[in-house]
Structure 1
Amino acid sequence: MKKENLTNVHIVCMTKGGVGKSTFTSPLSTMLYLNNPEKKINIFELDDFNEAQKVKSSFINHQTLKLKSTEMIIDEVQYHSLSDSSLINIIDAGGGADTKIVLAKLKEIELKNSNYYLPLNTDIDQIKNIKDTINLILEFDKCANINLVLNKCKKMDKDVIEEQFLNIYGDPDFDVPCQLDNLKVNNIFFVPETNVFTLLKSHYKVALLDSYLSSKDLIENIVQYHQEWRQKGGVELFKANNKRLRFAKMVIKLIDDLEPIRKALL
């Protein structure tokens, strides 16, 4: 299927909780914005158990809603997918039964040609959840763009990733079969293990996109900023802002590691 036939709807889902679905919406929304800076991005987090996180963003509209709002939100998303190409909508479905409810609603309205992202970690038992989720999607969306997301990769190195995710790539030493031929996915994405996500969400309370843009500005203009810090506050302010610089470098490295995802989303 050609990419131009896909909708501007992106759905992060998995019939298993605790695999990093909400975490992945952060890099997903960032990469989508970097590819489409002229568009508005909405994130609808549908979950009865996650409390709303007050993460600030000047570029992304993030709403946390209860499952009872699913039908209303999906109707709105479908409307905008048909009538407004300037909007990108991301649906972050909760795990387990929550994902099944969201997919059932998408099936009811026959929302097709959408983009799906299925996060997982190294648990072998999650293969069944992945297959179940894929089958639920393909029941109503034969042309779906389905992407597997391997979360918390220890290193962004092919050999290390294959060894870490033996549930996907298998391990002949332990008679664990490779699942690549059994999974009907379009892409496999890799997300590194990093403290950046939790620091942004729970400590700084700033969206990854906003942090990246400010980090990029800081590093590109560091000579000017160093002069300002020395003039305004002396050594203590200089030391404090150097902490910002160190974190900025962590954010930039993360975005560099996610570059293959950005290119795949073009």
Structure 2
Amino acid sequence: MRAYGANTDLHSKWGGIVPNPAWRLVQALATIVSPKGVITIDGFNTHVAPVEEADAKMLKQIEVDEAGLKRQFKIGGWVRNMSGRTLTKELIFGPTCTICGIQTGHTDAGAKTVLPGMARARLDFRLVPDLSPELIVKLLRAHLDAREFHDIEIIEIASAPYAKSSPTSTVARAAIETTAEIYGEPPVVYPLDPASGPVGAVCGVNLPPTPVVSFGIAYAGSNPHGPNENIRLSDFIQGIKYFGRVIDRLAHISRDDFKERNTIEAFLPITR
């Protein structure tokens, strides 16, 4: 999102009579998410699909290490004081609107009395069923216009639909059935990944969507997208072994399913 004021940064002595795009932008942003962290874009939440019964069952198997994560993040609590099942459901099936960064005026060290000529904020939305990138942009534009923020520009940098597959799909079965061989215990299956990547762009755009499963080699201290993002070499090696087992199992499942289909077809009665 971007707002403009004067054609260049000015001395802040003009702040009382020249429009300040920084104030304009933060005022617009304040209408998008409430102080409690609820997305308040008009009509947004009516498009969020209820959690399916099968997904709700999987959610019961997932536990968030609330105390450990709060220590790691150095935070006092979660948004809206959520905990337990409510917190887990919000993490996995709650859509997000995050201000990733704001740029305007003078932000370097030292004092400089500046009235910005431009302000911009980078937002990301993490999608859940039945939201789409096109719908988000449409709703956001209508929401801003309804509040007389016609001058706020929306610039779409990148987008991808969400991707979601059944745990009974061939590729998911291959991943689930081989986990214990490498890691010594069964997997915790997330019905939807709260993170993002190219999966949606590759698998979520097809109708029907291409089945997909996601797994990785991070550990609790990997700090993805943050300072000192890292993985451990032992996890990397183990991940290579796991990936190999998944591919091998995928081939076996595909072969067995093919044989089963042919057997069923062979026993079908011939009618005239």
Q: Same fold (TM over 0.5)?
A: no
Q: Which has the larger radius of gyration?
A: 2
More helix by percentage: 1
TM-score, normalisation: structure 2: 0.28
More strand by percentage: 1
